[in-house]
Structure 1
Amino acid sequence: MSPRPSLLRRLFPSPVLSITVVAFWMVMSASFDLGQLLLGMLLGVVIPLFAARLDREFARIGSLRPLPRLVGVMLWDILLSNFRVAAQVLGPERRLTPGFIWVPLDIGNIHGIAALTSLITLTPGTVSSALSDDRRHLLVHVLHLEDPQALIAEIKSRYEAPLMEIFP
């Protein structure tokens, strides 16, 4: 039988989060009066209570060896995509063929999936739009979609493969 948490621990499951919420509330509020402080303190109690109920998946880190190359690939892709998107936007609109593609995922780690969606969205011309409920497919919007299969292969080889090593 596990010991029951104290009342204080049940009210404040994460004191650091509570303090952070109050601090951010005070910084974001327009005035530093008693009412704002009390509202910030209420939020500092309520928000961690709801956050404690969320199912947490902790990040497992595998090998960091692919990280420098992944960062280089990402920066290069962002640079090239900026030029490509600028040319597409400044060119005739009729030549754009936007579209959606479903990218099948081999990566199962939610933190790796989050990193993949961020990398896709950071690259101009592409936006991660949705993740299937089973986390096996990612919907990506593309500003100019010429060859869906080639783009899927590029995402999997340039981003997903290294992320699978980092987040096993």
Structure 2
Amino acid sequence: MRDWLPFPLLTAALVALWLLLTESVALGSILMGGVLALLTVRGFIALDPPAGRLRRPRAACALAALVLGDIARSNLAVARIILTPGKTERVSGFLRIPLDMRAPYGLATLACIITATPGTIWVEYNSANNTILLHILDLVDEGTWIDTIKGRYEKRLMEIFE
């Protein structure tokens, strides 16, 4: 069964996504979604993704809740910056942060978290010295940003993926 359907959850999720996008549960839509999902999974296998495991699902759920809260708070902060121009002296800039984490799925998740949070962008990952380069809209204190990324996100991601 594993040879024929190597990623059953991914296949089911892709079929469900297809049905949502087509807004139909007709037999033709289900068959088309199944065929597309199987072809997509075969393409995914060709990429040869590294093996990975979610070691602590509860910690992942707690991190997801934390990230959603941070995204909401960041949305408000960016809206305040945009809607009140000239009231505060803003300094945007680039910041290089050293990382301890090397797990590929942990790094990918960190990139998604940082980029999904308004006001921050993941610019570069340097694998030689294991650092990331971020662009931050309101770079007030570099130490606070480093502590936030390392203590708030990296520590939890290492707990989940390493």
| TM-score (ref. length: structure 2) | 0.66
Aligned length: 159
> How big is the alpha-carbon RMSD for the aligned residues of Structure 1 and Structure 2?
4.0
Aligned counterpart for 2:85 among listed residues 78, 84, 92:
92
Q: Structure 1 residues 134, 82: closer, same or farther in 2, change over 3 A?
A: same
Aligned counterpart for 2:64 among listed residues 66, 71, 75:
71
Q: Give the distance between the partners of 2:123 and 2:112, measured in 1 at CA.
A: 11
Structure 1 residues 25-40: aligned runs within 5 Å: none
Any gaps of 5 or more consecutive residues in structure 2?
Answer: 1-6, 11-39
1:1-51 residue CA offsets vs partner (Å, 9 max, x unmatched): xxxxxxxxxxxxx9xx9xxxxxxxxxxxxxxxxxxxxxxxxxxxxx98986
Structure 1 residues 131-146: aligned runs within 5 Å: 131-134=125-128, 136-146=130-140
Corresponding residue of 2:76: 83
Q: Rg: which structure is higher?
A: 1
Q: State whether residues 131 and 139 of structure 1, in contact with CA within 8 Å, keep that contact through their aligned partners in structure 2.
A: yes
Q: Structure 1 residues 49, 74: closer, same or farther in 2, change over 3 A?
A: closer
Q: State whether residues 129 and 140 of structure 1, in contact with CA within 8 Å, keep that contact through their aligned partners in structure 2.
A: yes
Percent identity reads: 33
Q: Give the distance between the partners of 1:142 and 1:76, measured in 2 at CA.
A: 18
- The amino acid that maps onto 2:75 is N
Q: State whether residues 52 and 161 of structure 2, in contact with CA within 8 Å, keep that contact through their aligned partners in structure 1.
A: no
Q: Structure 1 residues 95, 158: closer, same or farther in 2, change over 3 A?
A: same
Corresponding residue of 1:31: none
Structure 1 residues 1-168: aligned runs within 5 Å: 54=48, 56-59=50-53, 61-62=55-56, 64-65=58-59, 67-68=61-62, 70-92=63-85, 95-134=89-128, 136-168=130-162
SS at match of 1:95: coil
| TM-score (ref. length: structure 1) | 0.64
- The amino acid that maps onto 1:104 is P
